[in-house]
Amino acid sequence: MKTYHLKAVEYGGKTFANCSLSLDADARKAEIKRSVGLLKREAVLVADLTWGLGTPVQVDGSAVRSGGVTLVADDKTAAEEISMTLQSPAPARTLVTDKLAAIREPVYGFLRKRAEGIEFLVKLKTDPRQALVDVSPSYAGLYENPALEYLMKFSTSLAEAHAKMTYAAAEVQETVGTPAIERIFAFVCAAGVFQDGLVTGTGFTEEVSAFLMQLGVGGEDIAETDVKKSTEAMLRRSDPLFSAVPAS
């Protein structure tokens, strides 16, 4: 929030002298007030305006014109600063970036958690007895064997990670837009297919590669066979999905 002194404001066919302008760049809102009373200590709201992203803004000396409003700043420098704030898409972009960042960790959290289960299954396939021994410290005897008990507990924690991811997506969807969320979920599914391939032995398939290319995150082969490392390699590619794009 930044406040400017205005020599005058023309709005709604009227002219108001000696006003203050408070600009909320993130919300793209402008609040114009004027001082009234004998000692000019009381502030009265003149206008509470929201600027659209594409609204044209013109600077003429110390005057800024946009829509049906003319703001007369103290000087030309202040006028240009107000103009840039109103025109710049940066505030919106920052907001989207922040929201995307908020969903990144839950998405990574889900895929990392899933990698733990996949790693266990790969081990169960290649060296089943060692896999059972590895999970035996947490075996409480609730199920007939440690593998079943581990997978039952794991499915609960995976469901929690999934819920966190979907809640986080729902919270930011209005700001970042449905297409951005869909792209992220599409990436999550591709990563899941890749993880499953480590169990079935198909690994990084052409289908996954082609789809990642479509998503614009790079379809180069991941030859790493360690599940956690290969999942991290996949996550590193996802940066473009979490970078700022204007909300559509």
Partner 1 sequence: MPRCANGHFQSLGLKCNTCGMQLSYREATSQLLDLPSVQPEFGRTASLYVGVPPAFREGGYSIALSSGDGHLQSKGEYVLERIQGGTWYDFYSKSSEEFARWLNIVAFGESTLKFLFADAADPLSVLAVSALPQLSQTVMVAMTADGASTPVEQNASYVAVSAALRRGFQVLALPRYLAKQILASEDADEPPSPAGSFSRVVGGLLGLRGELMDLLERDRHIGVGFHLLLPILSGSLQVYGKAANVFSVQSYQLPKGVEPGEVKTFHTLVSCEKELRREFEEGFAQFRNRTVKAALSAECRVKERADGGSFDLFTVVGLDENSILRECEDGYTAVAKRTPALRVESLA
Q: Where on the chain is the footprint of partner 1 (CB under 8 A)? A: 110, 114, 117-118, 121, 124-125, 128-133, 136, 139, 141, 145-147, 151, 155, 158-159, 162, 165-166, 169, 181-182, 185-186, 188-190, 192-193, 196, 199-200, 207-208, 210-211, 214-215
Q: Of 99, 109, 240, which Cα lies nearest the Cα of 165?
A: 109
Nearer to partner 1, 80 or 116 (CB): 116
**Per-residue tokens: 231:** 């999942």
- Minimum Å distance from CB 63 to partner 1? 46
- Minimum Å distance from CB 158 to partner 1? 6
DSSP 49-77: EE--TT--EEEETTEEEETTEEEEESSHH
Dist CA 127 CA 121 (whole Å): 10
Q: Of 85, 83, 105, 117, which Cα lies nearest the Cα of 192?
A: 117
Pairing mode of beta strands 14-24, 29-36: antiparallel
Nearer to partner 1, 94 or 200 (CB): 200
Nearer to partner 1, 22 or 173 (CB): 173
Assess contact for 33 and 44: CB atoms under 8 A: yes
- Minimum Å distance from CB 239 to partner 1? 19
- Minimum Å distance from CB 134 to partner 1? 9
Nearer to partner 1, 86 or 169 (CB): 169
